Amino acid sequence: MPTTMRTGGAHTGPSMSPRRPTTTRDLQAAVAGLKGEVRFNAPLREFTSFRIGGPADALVIPADVEDLSKLVQQARIAKVPIFVVGGTNLLVRDSGIRGVVVSLAKLNHVKDEAGGVLYAEGGVGMPTLLRFAISRSLSGLEWAAGIPGTVAGCVVMNAGTRLGQMDQALKAVHIVDRQGKLVECPAADIRFTYRRALLPPGIVAGVWVQLRPANRDKIATVVKDYLRYRKDTQPLTLASAGCVFKNSERGPAGKLIEEAGLKGARVGDAQVSEKHANFIVNLGDARASDVLALIKKVGRTVEERTGVTLELELKIVGQP
Ligand code: EPU
C-alpha cells in the first residue's frame, strides 16, 4: 500500500510498491520520535508462529494507538511501506520484508462495554479475548477456541472454524486510515467472504464484538471440548501457520492431501504434518523456500490426482 500497508497480516488496503527504494534516511524519518520499540534489520522469525522469516528493514512495536497513527503519518510522508505482521497464518520469505513491519503486540487492552459488547485492541490475542468473554459469561466467540492469532488478524482474514467465524460476532472495527486518522467502521459496511474481509484501507487498531449473556459453565464446556478436538487432530505442539489451504467444494483440503499420500512428505525441515495433512510443520530449521517447495509439491500432486486446484489460506509475504 503506497502509504503503504500491504494486504496480509493485520492490515488492509491495496498492495503497492514505494516509488523509489527505501533509504536508511527514509526509515529513520518514518520511525522518528516514536514511544514504542524500534529495531533495525530485525529477524521476523520470532514474530511468526512458523518460526520462519527473513529480516524487516525496521520492526516497530508502537506503544499505543497514537504511536501507531504517528508512524502511519510519518511513513506516508517518507514514502516507506508498512506491513502489519499478525504472525499466524503467515509465511515470511527468507529475504524478509522491505520497509517498516509493525507488530501490534502492545495494543493489548480489552474492555467491557455495556450490553454484551467488548472492545479489544488489535494486538489482543484471540485466546485472551475468548477468556475475557468467558469470565463475563458472554457467548459468541466459542468458535475461536484454539485460534492463536490476534483479533486484528482474525478480522482481516475473517477467521473461522466449523463452529462459526469472525463476522458473526463483529460489531465494528477501529481503523487507523492512510492519513493516520482513527476511524470507526461498522461491520454492516464491511463485505465478508470465506476467510476474507473487504475493509477500508488502513490498519485494524481495535475491534468491537457483540456477544450474548449465557451460562458460563456451558460456554466453558463448549470451548474445552473444541480445544480437545483440535489437540487430538492438529499438530499444536509444533511450529506451523495453521491450515495452509482453504477447504474446497470437493472436500476438506486435509482429506484431499492425505488421500494423495502426502502425509509426512518433506522438503528440508518443512513437513506435511502426520497428524493433519493441511498443516505444514517446521521441524526445526525450515526455511521459507522449503515450505514454498512443499506447497508446490502438495498443490501439484493433489491437482494431478483429483483435478482440484487448492487455494492458499496461508499468506505469503516478503521479497521474492
Ligand atoms: N481429514 C482427513 N485427513 C487429515 C485432516 C482432516 O481425512 O489429515 C478429514 C477429517 O477426518 C474430517 C475432515 O477432514 O473428516 C475435516 O477435518 P477437520 O475437522 O480437522 O477440519 P478442517 O476442515 O480440516 C477446519 C479449519 C481449521 C479449524 C478446524 C477445526 C479450514 C481450512 N480449516 O479444518 O482452521 O481449526 O476446521 O474447526 O477451514 C486454520 O484456519 O488455520 C485452521 C486450522
Condensed to tens digits (0 to 9), the pLDDT of residues 309-319 reads 999 999 999 98
Dist. CA 248 → ligand 1 center (Å): 11
pLDDT score of 8: 36
Rounded to whole angstroms, the Cα distance separating 302 from 310 reads: 8
pLDDT score of 19: 56
Rounded to whole angstroms, the Cα distance separating 277 from 117 reads: 37
Ranges of the chain whose pLDDT falls below 70: 1-19
Active site residue ranges: 195, 243, 313
**Sole residue written with cell 467488548:** 118
Mutating to test ligand 1, I would choose from 276, 279, 280 the residue with most ligand atoms within 8 A of its C-beta, which is: 276
pLDDT score of 179: 96
Cell of 186: 461498522
Which atom of ligand 1 has the smallest separation from the CA of 147? 36
pLDDT score of 9: 42
**Sole residue written with cell 462495554:** 113
Which atom of ligand 1 has the smallest separation from the CA of 276? 8
Rounded to whole angstroms, the Cα distance separating 221 from 33 reads: 47
Burial 228-254 (b: 16+ CB within 10 A, else e): eeeeeebbbebbbbbbbbbbbeeebbb
Residue nearest to atom 43 of ligand 1 (CA): 243
Residues 6+ apart with CB under 8 A from 48: 85, 87, 88, 90, 91, 92, 241
Mutating to test ligand 1, I would choose from 223, 271, 278 the residue with most ligand atoms within 8 A of its C-beta, which is: 278
| Other CB atoms within 10 Å distance of the CB of residue 320 | 6
**DSSP letter string, 186-217:** EGGGSEEETTEEEPPSEEEEEEEEE-EE--HH
Residue nearest to atom 21 of ligand 1 (CA): 252
Dist. CA 254 → ligand 1 center (Å): 6
Dist. CA 247 → ligand 1 center (Å): 8
- Number of helices (H) and strands (E) in the chain: give both, helices first: 7, 22
The SS3 assignment for 299 reads helix
Query: Using a 6 Å CB cutoff, which residues line ligand 1?
Result: 89, 161-162, 230, 233, 242-243, 246-247, 252-255, 258, 276-278, 313
Dist. CA 235 → ligand 1 center (Å): 12
Residue nearest to atom 27 of ligand 1 (CA): 161
Mutating to test ligand 1, I would choose from 89, 233, 245, 249 the residue with most ligand atoms within 8 A of its C-beta, which is: 233
Which atom of ligand 1 has the smallest separation from the CA of 233? 20
pLDDT score of 258: 98
The partner residues of 111 in beta bridges, in order of sequence, read 119
174 near 204, Cβ under 8 Å? yes
Mutating to test ligand 1, I would choose from 90, 255, 306, 314 the residue with most ligand atoms within 8 A of its C-beta, which is: 255
Dist. CA 161 → ligand 1 center (Å): 8
pLDDT score of 319: 85
3-state helix, strand, coil in the chain (%, to 5): 30, 30, 40
pLDDT score of 12: 41
pLDDT score of 195: 86
pTM comes to 0.90
Residues 6+ apart with CB under 8 A from 28: none
Dist. CA 255 → ligand 1 center (Å): 8
pLDDT tens, 89-108? Answer: 899 999 999 999 999 999 99
Residue nearest to atom 30 of ligand 1 (CA): 161
pLDDT score of 37: 98
pLDDT score of 178: 95
What values do phi and psi take at 12, rounded to 5? -135, 170
Rounded to whole angstroms, the Cα distance separating 258 from 208 reads: 39
Provide the Cα torsion 263, 268, 269, 275; round to 10°. 0
